Amino acid sequence: MTDIVQSLARIVGDAYVSDRPEEAYFYARDPGLMPPHKPDCVVVPKSVEEIQEIVRLAAREKIPVVPMGAGLALTGLVIPLRGGIVIDMKRMNRILKVDEMARHAIVEGGTSQGYLKAYLEKHHPRLRHSIPDSPATATIAANVMIHGQGRLTQQYGFNSDMICGLEVVLASGEVCRIGSGALSPDWFSKGPPLPDLTGLFLGWFGATGIITKIGVKLYPRKKMRDVEIFITDRDSLVPGMVYELTHTEMVEDINIFAQPKPMIFKDNHHITLFYTGDTEEEMEFKRKTIWHSLDRFIRSKDGGFMGVPPAMKSTLLDMPQRSVSRFADVKKGGGFEYSGPIIMVDKYPACARKILELAEKYDLGYSGMARIIGRSHAMMYGFAFTFNRADPDMMERTRQALHEVSVFALEAGGVFWKGTADEQKMAMQKMDPATRGLMGMIKKQMDPHGIMNPGNWEVTEV
Amino acid sequence: MYSLKFDINVCQTCPTGDCLVKCQYLHLDRDTAVAEMVKIGKGEDSFVLNDCVTCYACEEYCRRGNHPFYLITEQRQEKRILTAPRAITRQWINIGEPQGKYRLGEVNKRALSFGFMPEFLSWVEGRLFEDVMPSYIFGQEFFCNVVYIHFAETNIIKERLPRVIDNFRKLGVREVIFLHDECYGAFAHLAPAYGIEVPFKPIHYYEYLYRRLTELKDLIRPLNIRAAYQRPCSSRLSSDQHHFVRDIMELIGVHLVERTYQDENALCCGGILGMNYGYDLAHEVQQRNIDDMKAHGAEACIFNCPACQSTLERLVAKQGIEPMHMIHLCRKAIGEM
Ligand SMILES: Cc1cc2nc3c(=O)[nH]c(=O)nc-3n(C[C@H](O)[C@H](O)[C@H](O)COP(=O)(O)OP(=O)(O)OC[C@H]3O[C@@H](n4cnc5c(N)ncnc54)[C@H](O)[C@@H]3O)c2cc1C
Ligand code: SF4
Ligand code: SF4
C-alpha cells in the first residue's frame, strides 16, 4: 500500500495522506453501532482536480474510495466496508458564491452546515438554508446525498429537493455538472427543464460519484422565530393534528417527540411547531391561526398548548438543536443511534407504540421523534436509542432493537432513510424487481469497477 | 380554624350571589348565581361546572363564609368534568412528582421556600434576604401541589401534601417564608382545613419583605414610578395578605395605579386559560388586562408569581411597560438593582 500512499502524497501533499494506525482506527468507525472496518489510508484533498486524480488512481488500481463528510450519518455509511481510501472532504469547504436575488449558494463538497449558517448570518442576514439538527460540523453535500431533512422540510420537502445543481466527479475521474449549470453560468435548477440527472447520485451514498460542488437553495430569513408545543396523550390523534397544522401553511417546521424523561415529557406526544415572521403583527396572526387550527382538539380535551418555559424555548429555538446531541449521552458513554424510516404520517401511532414496545423489551432509553416532510406528505420517524459504549450488552440490545425496527418499518410501508448496508439489502429484496434491475444497470454503468463506496447499494448481492 | 365548609342554606338566603355575579367569566345575575350554587351544593349538574375557568376569585367574592371555588372543584372531580386537556393535566401531575432532585441551602430553624420555582434560585439575594439566606428549600419534595386545583385534581393535593409536610418536618424548620402564595395558602389554610397538622409557622413573603424594608428603611430611595399590579389567582387563597401590596409600594414610593382590574377585580394572566381553553379566551383577557394597565399610565407591571410573569412579560414589555417581580422592585428600592 505504500506505493499508493506515495502516489496520493504526490496528489495532495504529505500532510494530507495517512496510513498510520491512529488514523486508520478513527476512520474505521462512526459514532453509531456498526462494526468498524479499517481503511488502507485516508486522504484529505483540497480541490476538484485532486479528487479527480485520486479517483483515477483508485480506478487504475481497483481500490475502493469512500467519500466522507463529518461521518455523522450514524449508519456506517462512511465505514470503508472493503478497505481502500477514505476521502475526507472537510478541506473542501469554500463558499463559492451566494446569489442574494436568486436565493442560492454554491458551496464546495465538504462545506459544513454550521459554516454556511454563520456565513449567511454575517453576510446575507435575509437568507437561510434548511439546516438539519445534526452537529454543525455535518456537511451539506453529504446531508443532501442521504436525502436529509432540515428546518424547512415541512415547507419545501427533503433537503435534496432544495438544491439547484451539482458538480460531481464520476468513477472514471471525469468531472460533470448536473442541472442548469451544465450549460449555463447560472445554477438555478437541478434538472428541469432538462432530464433530472441528480437521481443518478442522490441517495446513492457516494456509490456513483463524489459531489465536489453543490448549489443550495436559500430562503427568506424572517426577523423573528418562535415555538409552540401542542401536547396530546392520544397517539392516534397526532396525524389529524398534523393535518390541521399543515393546512394553515404557516408553520416553518413540525417535529414530534415522545420520550419518558425528563418527567415533563412523560406520557404525552409533543408536536413542536416553529413559526417565523418579520413583524409582531405577522407573528401574532400566525400564532392565532396555528392555535385556532387545533381548537377542536382543545375543546374535546384531547390536547392543548403547553406553557413552554423560557429555558426550554431557547433550547428549542437553537439551530441546530443541541438537545438532540445531549440525548446521545443520557446513558453516559455517548452512544446514540436512530433508525429513521421515511413513512406516512398516518403510521405515527404504530411507530409510537413500536418504540415503546422495543424500549421495554430490550430495557433501553429511548426517544421517538418525527419530522414532518412536506404538507403531511410523509415523515421521518426516528426510533432513537441511547446506549453506553462501555456496555457491550446494552449495545447488543440496541442492535437487536434496531433490527426489529427495520423489519417493522418495511412491513409498515416505510422506506429506510440512510439505511445500513443490511437495510439497503432488505430494501432491494422487497423492491419491484424491475426497479432493482434498473438500479443495477445504473450502478454498473456509473461504477464499472465497483470502487465507489462498495458494500452500499450492491444490487448484485441481493 | 379555616375550613372549606359549604352550607347551601347560606346561599339560599344570599342577597347578592356575589360569587358568580362578580365572576369575570360567567356574567350571571343574582338569581341564576344563587340557583346554580345551590344546585352545585346539592351535587346536581350545573353549567358552571363546565364553564368556570378556575380563576379562584369566587373564593374571595363570597363574603358569607362559603367556599364556592373549592366546592366547584370537588364537584368537578367527583363528576370527572375535565377543566384542562388530559395531556396538560398529566404533564402537570408528572412535573410535581418528587424525583430526589431537591436543593437545600444551609437550612436552619427559619427557611425560605422557593416551592418548585427555579427562578428564585437566582432572584433571591441581597440585603433583603440576608437574615435568612442561605437557608432555603427548593424542589418537588417541598412543592405544595395546590396548582392541581386548576385541574380539578384535589386528590393529588390530599395525597401529596402530607408527604410534603413530612419532608418539612424532617428538616426541623420552625418558620418557613413562602415565596409563592399558592404554597403559603396551602400551609396556612388548606392543610389545616384538610385536617393535616403543619409543624411550622408559614409566613407570606410579602409580610417578610415589608418587615425587612422597614428594618432597612434608611436604604430606601423612593422609586417614584407608576406601577400596575398583576395579582395571581392563588393569592385568592390568602387574601388576608393582599394588603401588603399597597403597604410595600407605599413604603418604597411606588404609585399603584388604580386600574379597573385591581384587587378583588383582578384578571388572570391568561397562562392557564391558554392551556385549558385555547387562544381566544387567553388573548381577550390578556389584551383587556394590558390595555387597562396602559390606559392608567402604568410604567411598570409588578408580578407576584414568576409563572404569571413568564406568561405576560413579553406582552407587557411590548406596550412599553416594564415587567418586574416584586422582589426585584424591592431590591431596586434599596439600591441593589
Ligand atoms: C445528533 C444528531 C442529529 C441529527 N439530526 C439530523 C437532522 O435533523 N436531519 C438530518 O437530515 N440528519 C440528521 N442527522 C444525521 C446526519 O448527521 C446528517 O444527515 C448529516 O448531515 C450527515 O452529514 P455528514 O457530513 O456527517 O455525512 P457522512 O456521514 O460523512 O456521509 C453520509 C454519506 O454521504 C456520503 N458522502 C459524504 N460526502 C460526500 C460527497 N461529497 N459526495 C458523495 N458522497 C458523499 C458518505 O459516503 C456517506 O455515504 C443527525 C445526526 C446526529 C448525530
Ligand atoms: S357561595 Fe357565597 S356568594 Fe355565592 S351564593 Fe353562596 S353565599 Fe352567596
Ligand atoms: S373560579 Fe373564577 S371562573 Fe370559576 S366560577 Fe369562580 S370566579 Fe368564576
Q: Are residues B99 and B179 in the same domain?
A: yes
- Mean residue pLDDT of chain B comes to 95
To 10 degrees, the CA torsion angle through A388, A394, A396, A400?
-110
Q: Are residues B313 and B285 in the same domain?
A: yes
Most informative mutation of B16, B49, B52, B239 for ligand 3 (most atoms within 8 A of CB):
B52
Structural domain for B149, as ranges? 90-205
Distance B19 CA to ligand 2 centre (A): 5
Q: How far apart are CA A445 and CA B122, in angstroms?
A: 66
- Read off the amino acid at residue A429: Q
Q: Is the dihedral of CA A154, A157, A160, A166 positive or negative?
A: negative
What's the pLDDT score for residue B275? 95
What's the pLDDT score for residue A124? 98
Q: What is the count of structural domains for chain B?
A: 3
What's the pLDDT score for residue A328? 67
Radius of gyration of chain A (CA): 22
Q: How far apart are CA B172 and CA A393, in angstroms?
A: 46
Report residue B285: phi and psi, to 5°. -65, -45
Q: Given an 8 Å threshold on Cβ–Cβ distance, is B84 in contact with A287?
A: no
Q: What is the DSSP string of A16-84?
A: GEE--HHHHHHHT--SSSSPP---SEEE---SHHHHHHHHHHHHHHT--EEEESSS-S-SSTTS-TT--
- The alpha carbon of residue B210 is apart from the nearest alpha carbon of chain A, in Å, by 30
Question: Residue B264: nearest ligand to its CA?
Answer: 3
Residue B2 has pLDDT above 60, yes or no: no
What mean pLDDT is predicted for residues A230-248?
98
- Residue listed under C-alpha cell 438500479: A439
Q: How far apart are CA A235 and CA B75, in angstroms?
A: 30
Q: Given an 8 Å threshold on Cβ–Cβ distance, is A231 in contact with B84?
A: no
By Cβ distance, the residue of A232, A288, A309 closest to B87 is A232
Chain A / chain B CB contacts < 8 angstroms: 74
Q: pLDDT per residue over B124-146, tens digit each?
A: 999 999 999 999 999 999 999 99
Q: pLDDT per residue over A186-231, tens digit each?
A: 999 999 999 999 999 999 999 999 999 999 999 999 999 999 999 9
Q: pLDDT per residue over A262-293, tens digit each?
A: 999 999 999 999 999 999 999 999 999 999 99
Distance B149 CA to ligand 3 centre (A): 12
Please indicate, yes or no, if residue B211 is contained in any of the structural domains: no
Q: Is the ipTM of this complex over 0.90?
A: yes
User: In this structure, what C-alpha cell is assigned to residue A21?
Assistant: 494506525
Residue B149 has pLDDT above 70, yes or no: yes
Q: Are residues B244 and B306 in the same domain?
A: yes
Q: Is the dihedral of CA A461, A202, A242, A228 positive or negative?
A: positive
Look at residues A184, A100, A183, A92 and name the one whose alpha carbon lies nearest to residue A141. Answer: A92
CA distances from A192 to A42, A182, B186 (A): 37, 12, 68
Which chain B residue has the Cα nearest residue A233?
Answer: B87
Residue B1 has pLDDT above 60, yes or no: no
Q: Are residues B256 and B307 in the same domain?
A: yes
User: Could you tell me the pTM of the whole model?
Assistant: 0.95
Choice between A324 and A188, residue whose per-residue pLDDT is larger: A188
B252 lines ligand 3 (CB under 6 A): no
Q: Give contacts of B318 with chain A, Cβ < 8 Å.
A: 280
- Closest atom of ligand 3 to B57 CA is 7
Question: Residue A342: nearest ligand to its CA?
Answer: 1
Q: Given an 8 Å threshold on Cβ–Cβ distance, is A304 in contact with B85?
A: yes
Q: pLDDT per residue over A368-398, tens digit each?
A: 999 999 999 999 999 998 888 888 899 899 9
Distance B24 CA to ligand 3 centre (A): 7
Ligand 2 atom 7: residue of nearest CA: B11
Report residue A135: phi and psi, to 5°. -50, 150
What's the pLDDT score for residue B188? 94
By Cβ distance, the residue of A232, A266, A305 closest to B274 is A305
Where among B22, B54, B79 does a domain terminate?
A: B79
User: In this structure, what C-alpha cell is assigned to residue A223?
Assistant: 426577523
Q: Of all helices (H) and strands (E), which one includes residue A393?
A: helix A392-411
- The alpha carbon of residue A298 is apart from the nearest alpha carbon of chain B, in Å, by 6
Please indicate, yes or no, if residue B84 is contained in any of the structural domains: no
Q: Give contacts of A267 with chain B, Cβ < 8 Å.
A: 87, 90-91, 94
CA distances from A94 to A105, A116, B114 (A): 11, 9, 52
Question: Residue B9: nearest ligand to its CA?
Answer: 2
What mean pLDDT is predicted for residues A333-350?
88
Residue B313 has pLDDT above 50, yes or no: yes
Q: What is the DSSP string of B106-161?
A: S--SEEEE-TT-THHHHH--SGGGTTTTT-EEESGGG---GGGGGGT-HHHHHHHH
Contact B187, B202 (CB under 8 A): yes
What mean pLDDT is predicted for residues B87-101?
94
What's the pLDDT score for residue A332? 67
What mean pLDDT is predicted for residues A47-53?
98
Least confident residue range of A15-24, A330-339, B44-53: A330-339
Please enumerate in sequence order all residues whose Cβ is within 8 A of that of A118, keeping only pairs 6 or more positions apart, or say none: none
Please indicate, yes or no, if residue B210 is contained in any of the structural domains: no
What's the pLDDT score for residue A331? 64
Contact A272, A257 (CB under 8 A): yes
What's the pLDDT score for residue A31? 84
Architecture of the domain whose range is A224-416: 3-Layer(aba) Sandwich (3.40)
Q: Are residues B148 and B94 in the same domain?
A: yes
What mean pLDDT is predicted for residues B48-64?
95
- Mean residue pLDDT of chain A comes to 95
- The alpha carbon of residue B91 is apart from the nearest alpha carbon of chain A, in Å, by 6
Contact B324, B300 (CB under 8 A): yes
Where among B59, B79, B99 does a domain terminate?
A: B79
Q: Is the dihedral of CA B316, B322, B326, B328 positive or negative?
A: positive
Residue A348 has pLDDT above 60, yes or no: yes
Q: pLDDT per residue over A423-440, tens digit each?
A: 999 999 999 999 999 999
- Read off the amino acid at residue B239: S
Question: Residue A338: nearest ligand to its CA?
Answer: 1
Q: Are residues B119 and B50 in the same domain?
A: no
Residue B36 has pLDDT above 90, yes or no: yes
Q: How far apart are CA A206 and CA A200, in angstroms?
A: 10
> Residue ranges per domain, chain A?
2-88, 95-220, 224-416
Q: How far apart are CA A66 and CA A87, in angstroms?
A: 6
Q: pLDDT per residue over A99-141, tens digit each?
A: 999 999 999 999 999 999 999 999 999 999 999 999 999 999 9
User: In this structure, what C-alpha cell is assigned to residue B159?
Assistant: 395525597
User: In this structure, what C-alpha cell is assigned to residue B209?
Assistant: 419583605
Q: Give contacts of B275 with chain A, Cβ < 8 Å.
A: 304-307
Distance B178 CA to ligand 2 centre (A): 30
Q: How far apart are CA B250 and CA B255, in angstroms?
A: 7
Q: Is the dihedral of CA A404, A409, A412, A413 positive or negative?
A: negative
By Cβ distance, the residue of B88, B278, B318 closest to A306 is B88
Q: How far apart are CA A84 and CA A66, in angstroms?
A: 8
Counting residues of chain B whose pLDDT is more than 70, the rounded percentage is: 99
Q: pLDDT per residue over A438-458, tens digit each?
A: 999 999 999 999 999 999 999
By Cβ distance, the residue of A233, A287, A307 closest to B90 is A233
Please indicate, yes or no, if residue B85 is contained in any of the structural domains: no
What mean pLDDT is predicted for residues B149-165?
92
Report the first-to-last Cα separation within chain A, whole angstroms. 31
B14 lines ligand 3 (CB under 6 A): no
Q: Are residues B114 and B194 in the same domain?
A: yes
User: Domain A2-88 falls in which CATH fold?
Assistant: 3.30.43
Q: Give contacts of B86 with chain A, Cβ < 8 Å.
A: 233, 301-302
The dotted CATH code for A95-220 is 3.30.465.10
Q: How far apart are CA A418 and CA A149, in angstroms?
A: 11
Q: Given an 8 Å threshold on Cβ–Cβ distance, is A307 in contact with B94?
A: no
Q: How far apart are CA B52 and CA A368, in angstroms?
A: 36
User: In this structure, what C-alpha cell is assigned to residue A335?
Assistant: 452512544
Which chain B residue has the Cα nearest residue A232?
Answer: B87
B190 DSSP 8-state letter? I
Q: Are residues B282 and B319 in the same domain?
A: yes
Look at residues A332, A241, A217 and name the one whose alpha carbon lies nearest to residue A292. Answer: A241
Q: Does A231 touch chain B (CB under 8 A)?
A: yes
Please indicate, yes or no, if residue B229 is contained in any of the structural domains: yes
Region of residue B314 (phi > 0: left; psi between -120 and 50: alpha; otherwise: beta)? alpha
**DSSP E strand boundaries for A179-240:** 210-217, 219-220, 224-232
Radius of gyration of chain B (CA): 20
Where among B19, B50, B79 does a domain terminate?
A: B79
- Read off the amino acid at residue A248: T
Residue A341 has pLDDT above 90, yes or no: yes
- Residue listed under C-alpha cell 424594608: B213
Look at residues A44, A36, A37, A39 and name the one whose alpha carbon lies nearest to residue A14. Answer: A44
What's the pLDDT score for residue A336? 75
Residue A298, CA atoms < 13 Å, CB-side half-sphere: 21
Which chain B residue has the Cα nearest residue A285?
Answer: B279
Which chain A residue has the Cα nearest residue B93?
Answer: A264
Q: How far apart are CA A155 and CA B123, in angstroms?
A: 41
By Cβ distance, the residue of B88, B95, B279 closest to A291 is B279
What's B145's domain CATH number? 3.40.50
- The alpha carbon of residue B282 is apart from the nearest alpha carbon of chain A, in Å, by 11
By Cβ distance, the residue of A268, A287, A292 closest to B91 is A268
Please indicate, yes or no, if residue B140 is contained in any of the structural domains: yes
Q: Given an 8 Å threshold on Cβ–Cβ distance, is B276 in contact with A304?
A: yes
Q: Where residue A333 falls among pLDDT bands split at 50, 70, 90?
A: low
Contact A67, A84 (CB under 8 A): no
User: In this structure, what C-alpha cell is assigned to residue A7?
Assistant: 502516489
Q: Given an 8 Å threshold on Cβ–Cβ distance, is A266 in contact with B86?
A: no
Residue B275, CA atoms < 13 Å, CB-side half-sphere: 26
